[in-house]
Amino acid sequence: MQSVYPSIYYLTASKMLEKKILKDEKEEHLLFRSRAIAAAVIVFLLLSVIGVRLFYLQITSHEHLTELAQENYQKRIPTPPVRGQIYDRNGIVLADNKIEYVLEVVQDKAQGLDDNIALLQKLIPISPKDISKFKQKLRINSKFQPVVLRSALTEEEIAIFSVNQYRFPGFAVNIRTERLYPFGSVASHVIGYVGRIDTRDLERLGKDEYKGSTHVGKTGVERFYESRLHGKAGFKKVEMDAHSEPQRTLAEESPISGEDLFLTIDLELQIKAEQLLEGQRGAIVAIDPRNGEVLAMASVPMFDSNLFVNGISYKNYNALRDNPERPLFNRALQGAYPPGSTIKPAAALAGLNSEVITPKRSVNGRGFFQIPGTKHRYRCWKKTGHGHISVNRAIYQSCDVYFYDLAYRMGIDRYSEAMSRFGFGQKTGIDLPHERSGLMPTPAWKNRRYKTSWYPGDTVNVGIGQGYWTASPLQLAHSTATIATKGRRITPHVLKSVRVSRDLPEKLTRPKFLPSVIAEDKHWNTVIQGMVNVVHGPMGTARGSGAGAKYRYAGKTGTAQVFGIAQNKTYNAAKLAKRLHDHSLFVAFAPLDNPRIALSVIVENGGGGSAVAAPIARKLLDSYLLPKPVTIKVDNTKESSETPPNKNDNS
């Protein structure tokens, strides 16, 4: 490399000499070399800084930055699942999914939104209400999500829009499914309804699962079995460019449709029950005692579930809420009525079981009962009294004195405990939300509640299902079913089977057994015989309704006082306001051998149990047990409203 040095050195040097400048070429060369080496070192050091920075970005921060990159372009769009349908026990659809065409707008893609809406109004009708609703939703929703501008598009409107779609960027017609309850108000308390998801729902539900969903079950089966009905949301992972234009689908997971539910409800019986209560306020619960299936659960008046699906209007909601008949209130599940005489068979069994009474022992029914050493008279409904009376007659004639005496001698602790075994004072555990437990009073409870001690008179009142005792129609039907099965208790339920997929067989739900009521068979027979005599005996309180039945059944009337009557006064229905009239109750099971249905009927302020509730029960039993050529007629346009305000409390 250095072989040519001297000549260059010489040549340039001579040139320099010519210019009269002394330059040491070799020195300068060495100077340059040392500077070049220093420069190379600095270059290397500074580029090392870049290298370290790259190392930091590409190794240390790699994961974090990869996430950021994915956030940039990967958007997860949830796909809502199709909600499961609800059927009655015979496969009749109670809650369906209706397909609807809606006009939706994606804000991000729509330019000059207001102008375009005005333009579109010339083509298809869009009401100012639609627009104000749309604007409201725009504020809540993400600007990348479609927001409904008009729903329920007709085919003609779809055609008109499709031709002009190119003029409206960001506007599109989409299919939407909507919940439909074909029978409207029928069984609306059982089925419940879905409504738009609100913030409270979101706290309760998994936010991820519901990202694409708009509706959620709010009451009834729709709420209780929400997780089964809803299904599992799918998603679409879409690649978006910097301008939010979707490029391609990266991953897709189909949603899993919700499960179809088959209820234990027999639609025909349900409609019959609702019709029998029409124009009144009341409830009917019918249970299959063999397996706890709820065949009918009527609470009248009712409401139309469809009203709630797309957000009920204030007007409609206020009308329902302020209606004195309280149509939103599920009487069958939440009503707390004094059970009245309907509990006498259970009380009799408790007495027999604890040997407080015997089948032979009789009590002198003088028409009133007095606690030894006091003057207060606890009156029998029959002023003249029943005379000497056995347990059998005490049941079918509903002798109050007999049961005053029974409860008094048993004592409240034993009595209360025995009644709890029939499920009183506890939730039955039915698969519906908001069940109420009613109240089986005890001294401890009274002390807690009223800070006073339990008086013997309290026990006497409880002896005929009055006083502090309250029960729901469901509990009454359940306790009646317990007598029908001679003590075997099964949790009442409304879900019969589940269909996960149309290709798979339905999965039956298993009955859940509760602790049985243990008693000797002969005691059961005594009690049941008393109930049979209620309807079939010549002196039974409900012999009128039992007459001519083509099957044998057992029943018990009940008349629950709403209004306390003074000691020397008589109850005069005609003089009392309707809302102070007695509640009319009846419980029954049939047929006698191998019972298939146990039911409770309550008609608020209906009057005597034998006069109002018992005939209703008979008609219902007939319709269920007798072969019928009748076809179902659906009428969901009724709304009764002629009766005055009422409160459902007892005396």
Catalytic residues: 341
Of the candidates 6, 17, 26, 33, which one interacts with another protein according to CB under 8 A?
A: 33
Site for another protein in 42-71 (CB under 8 A): 43-44, 46-47, 49-51, 53-55, 57-59, 61-62, 64-66, 68-69
CB of 252 to another protein, least distance (A): 19
Smaller CB separation from another protein, 27 or 593: 27
3-state DSSP percent of the chain in helix, strand and coil, to 5:
40, 20, 40
Q: Does 28 participate in binding another protein (rule CB under 8 A)?
A: yes
215 with 100: CB under 8 angstroms?
A: no
Tell me the DSSP string of 451-504.
SSPPPHHHHHHHTTT-TT-BB-HHHHHHHHHHHHTTT-EE--BSEEEEESSTTS
Q: Which residue's structure tokens are 């229905």?
A: 573
DSSP result, 425-441: TS----SSTT----B--
Q: Are 278 and 164 in contact (CB under 8 A)?
A: no
**Distance of alpha carbon 188 from alpha carbon 222, whole angstroms:** 10
How does strand 260-263 pair with strand 86-87? parallel
- For residue 3, the minimal CB distance to another protein (Å) is 12
Residue 626 in contact with another protein, rule: CB under 8 A: no
Amino acid making up residue 355: E
Contact positions with another protein (CB under 8 A) in 396-425: none
**Minimum distance, C-beta of residue 249 to another protein, in the bound complex (Å):** 14
Contact 116, 171 (CB under 8 A): yes
CB 206 within 8 A of CB 41: no
The residue (of 239 and 622) whose beta carbon lies closer to another protein is 239
Taking alpha carbons only, the member of 581, 544, 533 closest to residue 561 is 581
Is the CB of 59 or the CB of 518 nearer to another protein?
59
Q: Which residue, 516, 466, 470, 468, is CA-closest to 353?
A: 516
Pick the piece of the chain touching another protein (CB under 8 A) from 28-36, 371-379, 490-498, 551-559. 28-36
Which one of 4, 518, 574, 630 is in contact with another protein (CB under 8 A)? 4
Q: How far is the CB of 113 from another protein (least distance, A)?
A: 22
Minimum distance between the CB of residue 244 and another protein, rounded to whole angstroms? 10
Residue 26 as a binder of another protein (CB under 8 A): the answer is no
- What does R_g of the chain's alpha carbons equal in angstroms? 40
According to DSSP, the residues that pair with 286 across neighbouring strands are: 296, 599
DSSP 631: P
Of 31 and 444, which CB lies nearer to another protein in the complex structure? 31
315 sits near another protein (criterion: CB under 8 A): no
39, 41, 119, 547: residue in contact with another protein (rule CB under 8 A)? 39
We find the least distance from the C-beta atom of residue 251 to another protein, in angstroms, to be 15
Helix (H) / strand (E) containing 105: strand 93-106
Interaction of residue 21 with another protein, rule CB under 8 A: yes
Query: Is the alpha carbon torsion for 63, 65, 70, 71 positive or negative?
Result: positive
Residue 270's SS3 state is: helix
Q: For another protein, which residue of 130, 239, 622, 639 counts as binding (CB under 8 A)?
A: 239
Nearer to another protein, 25 or 417 (CB): 25
Q: In angstroms, rounded to a whole number, what is the distance separating the alpha carbons of residues 106 and 370?
A: 78
Distance CA 51, CA 74 (A): 30
Query: What secondary structure letter does DSSP report for 329?
Result: S
DSSP state of 350: H
Residues in the chain: 651
Taking the least distance from each CB to another protein, the nearer of 54 and 547 is 54
CB closer to another protein, 69 vs 163: 69
Given the complex with another protein, which of 54 and 159 has the nearer CB atom?
Answer: 54
Where does this chain touch another protein (CB under 8 A) — which range of 26-34, 354-362, 490-498, 532-540?
26-34
Which of the ranges 19-27, 83-91, 336-344, 570-578 carries the binding residues for another protein, by CB under 8 A? 19-27
In 208-300, alpha helices (H)? 220-224, 226-230, 267-276
Closer CB to another protein, 58 or 90, in the complex: 58
One character per residue 72-111, x = contact with another protein (rule: CB under 8 A):
xx--------------------------------------
Stretch that binds another protein, among 30-38, 230-238, 263-271, 424-432 (CB under 8 A): 30-38
When the beta carbons of 47 and 508 are compared against another protein, the nearer one is: 47
Count of residues engaged in binding another protein, rule: CB under 8 A: 48
The smaller minimum CB distance to another protein, of residues 5 and 455, is found at 5
Q: Does 17 bind another protein (CB under 8 A)?
A: no
Separation of alpha carbons 34 and 9, rounded Å? 18
Q: C-beta of 62: minimal distance to another protein in Å?
A: 5
- Binding string, residues 183-222; x marks residues near another protein by CB under 8 A: ----------------------------------------
Distance of closest approach, residue 48 Cβ to another protein, in angstroms: 9
- Taking CB under 8 A as the criterion, the residue among 36, 82, 444, 634 binding another protein is 36
Q: Which two tokens stand for residue 115?
A: 């102008």
Q: Does 22 bind another protein (CB under 8 A)?
A: yes
Structure tokens at 234: 């799918």
Angle at 283 between CA 619 and CA 91, to 5 degrees: 70
Nearest to 480 by CA among 587, 341, 618: 587
Which residue of 108, 198, 241, 252 would you call a contact of another protein, by CB under 8 A?
A: 241
- Give me the 242-261 binding string for another protein, x by CB under 8 A, dash otherwise: xx---x--------------
C-beta atoms surrounding 377 within 10 Å: 14
CB of 240 to another protein, least distance (A): 7
Sign of CA dihedral 146, 147, 152, 155: negative
Measured distance CA(61)–CA(2) in Å, rounded: 50
Binding site for another protein (CB under 8 A): 1, 4, 8, 12, 19, 21-25, 27-29, 31-33, 35-36, 39-40, 43-44, 46-47, 49-51, 53-55, 57-59, 61-62, 64-66, 68-69, 72-73, 239-243, 247
